[in-house]
């Protein structure tokens, strides 16, 4: 086999691997954006952590001079992280309005006499364990 034929055969294998890596990277970027919008920092970090090997897989397509999967992977992460941050800012800006609505609902549930019923509290029986003649250490 000539080197041109070997390069063509490798390209036929590596380009689909690069495309799959790009798809996985985009899915991880979407998950990171949703996590940022919801304020789940740990999930966002995990999604970006999985995005990294997926983006490395998309590098496989560059063997055949196919740069689109790599560009899509990088652009998806940057774009969706920005979108997630903007959505989070919008949600945070609406928080005082939601708090006011919750307070209004609580005022509506107050009885006509203006007295809010106290929550019921139940007590549980507590026993102490002993070890022979010495009481057990409290944890």
- On the question of pLDDT at 4 being above 80, the answer is yes
Number of domains forming the structure of the chain = 1
127: pLDDT strictly greater than 70: no
pLDDT digits (tens, 9 = 90+) for 59-104: 999 888 899 999 999 999 999 999 999 999 998 888 888 787 787 7
Residue 5 in this model has a pLDDT that exceeds 90: no
Helix (H, G, I), strand (E, B) or coil at 130: strand
User: What pLDDT, on a 0 to 100 scale, did the predictor assign at position 136?
Assistant: 57
User: Do the domain assignments include residue 85?
Assistant: yes
Please name the residue ranges forming H helices in 64-131: 68-93, 95-108
Instruction: Flag whether 131 is in a domain.
Output: no
Domain range for 38 is 9-108
In-domain check, residue 114? no
Confidence of residue 118 (pLDDT cuts 50, 70, 90): low
Mean pLDDT of 107-125: 63
């Amino acid at each position: 086999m000539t080197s041109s034929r070997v390069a063509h055969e490798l390209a036929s294998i590596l380009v689909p691997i690069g495309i799959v890596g790009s798809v996985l990277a985009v899915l991880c970027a979407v998950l990171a954006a949703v996590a940022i919008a919801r304020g789940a920092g740990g999930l966002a970090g995990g999604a970006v952590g999985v995005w990294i090997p997926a983006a490395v897989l998309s590098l496989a397509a560059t063997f055949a001079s196919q740069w689109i999967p790599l560009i899509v992977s990088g652009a998806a992460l940057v774009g969706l992280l920005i979108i997630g941050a903007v959505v989070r800012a919008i949600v945070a800006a609406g928080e005082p309005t939601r708090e006011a609505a919750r307070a209004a609902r609580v005022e509506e549930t107050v009885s006509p006499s203006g007295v809010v019923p106290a929550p019921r509290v139940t007590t549980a029986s507590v026993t102490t364990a002993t070890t022979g003649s010495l009481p057990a250490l409290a944890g």
